[in-house]
C-alpha cells in the first residue's frame, strides 16, 4: 500500500507554503496569500505561453485576432496579469516590473506589507523558437507601512524575504525559497496544482559546465577571460568544462542549480554594469543560489550585498557552484591587488 499512500499524499505548493507559515505562529497568512496570487499569475502565463505557438499559427499572438483586435504581446499580457494579481492580493504596496519604467504604488485602500520586484516574462525574445522562458520574482517587506517610498524597493538583496522563478518549458516548474532552503514544484495541468517534485534542492559544490555568451569575449576583462580560458584549457590536467548557454536566464540558472557549474553575465566595455537587472534578475537568482549552497558575485562583492540606486540598475553576475565562484573571486582579487 506504500505506493498508494505516496500517490494520494500529494505535497502541493499551497500545502508546502502553509507548512512554512506554521513556522511563524504570529503570521496572519499574508505571505501565503501573496504567494497564492503569484502562483495564479504563473498558471495563467503557463497556459498563455503554451498557446503562444498555436496562437501565432492561427494568427492571434502579436497580430490581429479574429475580432480584428490587436493581440497583446505575451510579455505585455504577462505583466498586466501579474500586476493585477499582486494588487488584488491586498498584500502588496510597491511593485517593480521589468516592463514598467516607474514603480507601481498600490492604492492605500488595497495596500499590504510586501514589495514585489519581478520580470513577468524574462527571455521573451525566445518565445517564437520554443526556448524555455520564465517569470522571476523577489519579495521584500516594507520598512515603514505609514511611509511607503521607493527606498522600500532599493534595499540590498540580502534583505529579500523570498525569491523564485517559474520556468515555462517542456513542463512548468516553479522554484522557490523563503529563506529555509530551495524547493521545486511542477505544474500538474490536470489538477491545476504545483506538486513538490524537487524537495530541498542543493547545487553541487563544483560543476563541469560554464555558461556565458562567448560572443562578448572580445570585450571581457582579464579575470573573466582568464576564468573562461581555464575552463577550456585546464592547467591541472582535469578535463575541459562543457559550455551550455541557452540565452534565457531562467533556463540557464535552472540547469546550473540542478547540474552545478557557473553562469556568468560579466561587465564589458560596452556594458560596464553588465546586462542583467539587479532587482528582478540578479537578486532573486542570487538568493536562490545561496539558499541552495552556492554563491553569487558581482566581480566586486557578494551580489546580495549590493545596494541598488535605481529600480532598473544592472550588475555583472557570476553565480553557481560554490567552488567555481570561489575561483572567479580569486581572479578578481588578484586583479584588485595588481591595480
| Interface segment toward ligand P6P; rule CB under 6 A; list 67-75, 157-165, 168-176, 247-255 | 247-255
CB distance 157 to 136 below 8 Å: no
The reply to whether 284 sits near ligand P6P by the rule CB under 6 A is no
The reply to whether 130 sits near ligand P6P by the rule CB under 6 A is no
Vertex 181: Cα angle to 319 and 103 (nearest 5): 65
DSSP-assigned states of every residue in 62-78? TSB-TT--BPPPHHHHH
| Interface segment toward ligand P6P; rule CB under 6 A; list 21-29, 77-85, 121-129, 193-201 | 121-129
Q: Kindly tell me which of 112 and 266 has the beta carbon lying closer to ligand P6P.
A: 266
Binding mask 180-219 for ligand P6P (x = CB under 6 A): ---------------------------------x------
- Specify the length of the chain in residues: 339
Q: In what order do the strands lie in the sheet with 242-243?
A: 242-243, 209-211, 262-265, 317-320, 295-297
User: Contact with ligand P6P (CB under 6 A): which of 20, 122, 268, 290?
Assistant: 122
Helix (H, G, I), strand (E, B) or coil at 138: strand
Specify whether the backbone of 147 is left (phi greater than 0), alpha (psi in -120 to 50) or beta.
beta
User: Contact with ligand P6P (CB under 6 A): which of 91, 113, 241, 275?
Assistant: 275
The reply to whether 273 sits near ligand P6P by the rule CB under 6 A is no
| Interface segment toward ligand P6P; rule CB under 6 A; list 41-49, 59-67, 155-163, 243-251 | 243-251
User: Contact with ligand P6P (CB under 6 A): which of 41, 112, 120, 123?
Assistant: 123
Q: How far is the CB of 268 from ligand P6P (least distance, A)?
A: 10
DSSP-assigned states of every residue in 142-155? -S-TTS--GGGGSS
Q: How far is the CB of 271 from ligand P6P (least distance, A)?
A: 9
Q: How far is the CB of 128 from ligand P6P (least distance, A)?
A: 13
The dihedral through the CA atoms of 268, 273, 275, 278 has a sign that is positive
Residue 58 CB: number of other CB atoms within 10 A?
A: 11
Amino acid at each position: 500500500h506504500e505506493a498508494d499512500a505516496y500517490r494520494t499524499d500529494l505535497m502541493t505548493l499551497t500545502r508546502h507554503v502553509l507548512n512554512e507559515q506554521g513556522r511563524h505562529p504570529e503570521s496572519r497568512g499574508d505571505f501565503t496569500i501573496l504567494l497564492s496570487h503569484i502562483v495564479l499569475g504563473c498558471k495563467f502565463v503557463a497556459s498563455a505561453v503554451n498557446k503562444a505557438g498555436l496562437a501565432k499559427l492561427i494568427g492571434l499572438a502579436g497580430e490581429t485576432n479574429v475580432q480584428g483586435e490587436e493581440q497583446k504581446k505575451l510579455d505585455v499580457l504577462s505583466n498586466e496579469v501579474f500586476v493585477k494579481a499582486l494588487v488584488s492580493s491586498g498584500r502588496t504596496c510597491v511593485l517593480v516590473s521589468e516592463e514598467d519604467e516607474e514603480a507601481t504604488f498600490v492604492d492605500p485602500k488595497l495596500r499590504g506589507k510586501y514589495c514585489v520586484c519581478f520580470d513577468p516574462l524574462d527571455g521573451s525574445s525566445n518565445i517564437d523558437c520554443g526556448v524555455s522562458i520564465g517569470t522571476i520574482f523577489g519579495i521584500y517587506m516594507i520598512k515603514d507601512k505609514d511611509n511607503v517610498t521607493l527606498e522600500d524597493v532599493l534595499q540590498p538583496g540580502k534583505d529579500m524575504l523570498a525569491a523564485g522563478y517559474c520556468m515555462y518549458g517542456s513542463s512548468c516548474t516553479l522554484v522557490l525559497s523563503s529563506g529555509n532552503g530551495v524547493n521545486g514544484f511542477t505544474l500538474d495541468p490536470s489538477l491545476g496544482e504545483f506538486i513538490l517534485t524537487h524537495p530541498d534542492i542543493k547545487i553541487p559544490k563544483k560543476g563541469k559546465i560554464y555558461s556565458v555568451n562567448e560572443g562578448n569575449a572580445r570585450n571581457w576583462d582579464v579575470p573573466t577571460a582568464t576564468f573562461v580560458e581555464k575552463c577550456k584549457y585546464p592547467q591541472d590536467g582535469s578535463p575541459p568544462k562543457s559550455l551550455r548557454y541557452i540565452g534565457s536566464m531562467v533556463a540557464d540558472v535552472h540547469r546550473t542549480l540542478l547540474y552545478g557549474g557557473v553562469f556568468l553575465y560579466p561587465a564589458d566595455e560596452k556594458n560596464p554594469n553588465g546586462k542583467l537587472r539587479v532587482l528582478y534578475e540578479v537578486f532573486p537568482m542570487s538568493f536562490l543560489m545561496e539558499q541552495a549552497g552556492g554563491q553569487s558575485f558581482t566581480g566586486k562583492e557578494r551580489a546580495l550585498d549590493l545596494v541598488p540606486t535605481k529600480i532598473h540598475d544592472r550588475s555583472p553576475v557570476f553565480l553557481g557552484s560554490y567552488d567555481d565562484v570561489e575561483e572567479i573571486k580569486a581572479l578578481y582579487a588578484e586583479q584588485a591587488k595588481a591595480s
